[in-house]
Amino acid sequence: MEKERVKLVGFWASPFVHRVKMALKMKGVEYQYIEEDIRNKTPLLFELNPVYKQVPVFVHNGKVLPESRIILEYIDETWKNTPLLLPQDPHQKAMARFWADFSDNQLGKVALEALCSRGERQEKAVISTVEALEKLEQELKGKVFFGGDSIGHLDLVIGWISYFMPLWEELASIKILDSSKLPAVNEWLNRFLTHPMIKDDLPKKEKLYAYFDEVSRRIAPLYGSEI
């Protein structure tokens, strides 16, 4: 078989890119990585993802695909003879999709607001973030990973919590990952961060800290705050 031509266009701090990198590593797929500066987007990104102009973009044998969760499913369906990321039972698969969407669209939004807002708005956003995580706590109970005994689709999608949330807590002087309220999530977080497939490829903490310090100040006005 002709060698696969696999490219990933990404940005070093993007959790949406990291989940794809993790999937490719778990699947043992070799690829060319192309770093994109999302503050100074190149014509390549506009050409590959004209609708959203965002990373990641995945290119497989010339076929272009944007959107990280859709890319994850594509990878799982294309490289089938490797550990599967989504459960094969249709209902379990559907629920993994449900919580993955919840993580990106509900949890992600309130967590970012907790990072970037101040005062009463921040207090409310912290409460909403904890409440969202408590839902995932229920989903995780009795399991080693969201995927069951091994890392799966939902772990990769939710993975951002493990390397972002402690930094965001520090940066915004807030407490979210309370181990008395979220014992399973806290255990999962350590298990995920120290997993052999994950631990060596995460962005460096200091670099991420500086990045989010700048990002949170820049977007704070959107949340009614000047920080």
Q: How far is CA 95 from CA 88, 92, 98, 107, 174, in A?
A: 11, 5, 5, 16, 30
Q: Give the residue carrying structure tokens 């990641």.
A: 56
Give 90 or 142: the residue with its C-beta nearer to a copy of itself: 90
> Is the separation of the CB atoms in 76 and 64 below 8 Å?
no
**What's the CA gap between 202 and 193, in Å, rounded?**
9
Question: Residue 131 or residue 170: which is nearer to a copy of itself going by CB?
Answer: 131
Among 12, 31, 74, 209, indicate the residue that binds a copy of itself (CB under 8 A): 74
The tokens of 217 are what? 């100040």
**Binding of residue 163 to a copy of itself (CB under 8 A):** no
Q: Does 81 bind a copy of itself (CB under 8 A)?
A: no
Terminal Cα-to-Cα distance of the chain (whole angstroms): 56
- Residue 15 has which token pair? 């959790």
Q: Which residue has the tokens 């904890």?
A: 130
Concatenated DSSP letters for 80-140? TTS--SS-SSHHHHHHHHHHHHHIIIIIHHHHHHHHH--HHHHHHHHHHHHHHHHHHHHHH
Kindly state the number of chain residues that form the binding site for a copy of itself, as judged by CB under 8 A: 23
- Per-residue mark of binding to a copy of itself, 96-135 (x: CB under 8 A): -xx--xx---x----------------------------x
d(CA 15, CA 12): 9
CB of 153 to a copy of itself, least distance (A): 13
Contacts with a copy of itself in 12-41 (CB under 8 A)? none
Residue number, 64 or 219, with CB nearest to a copy of itself:
64
Within 8 A by CB and 6+ apart from 148, the residues are 87
Contact residue for a copy of itself among 73, 104, 113, 155 (CB under 8 A):
73
- Cα 180 from Cα 198, distance rounded (Å): 26
71 in contact with a copy of itself (CB under 8 A): yes
Nearer to a copy of itself, 7 or 93 (CB): 93
Question: Which of residues 60 and 195 has its CB atom nearest to a copy of itself in the complex?
Answer: 60
Interface residue with a copy of itself, options 63, 142, 180, 196 (CB under 8 A): 63
| Beta carbon nearer to a copy of itself, 124 or 135 | 135
Q: Identify which of residues 61 and 194 has a Cβ nearer to a copy of itself in the complex.
A: 61
Q: Which residues bind a copy of itself (CB under 8 A)?
A: 51, 60, 63, 65-67, 70-71, 73-74, 77-78, 90-91, 93-95, 97-98, 101-102, 106, 135
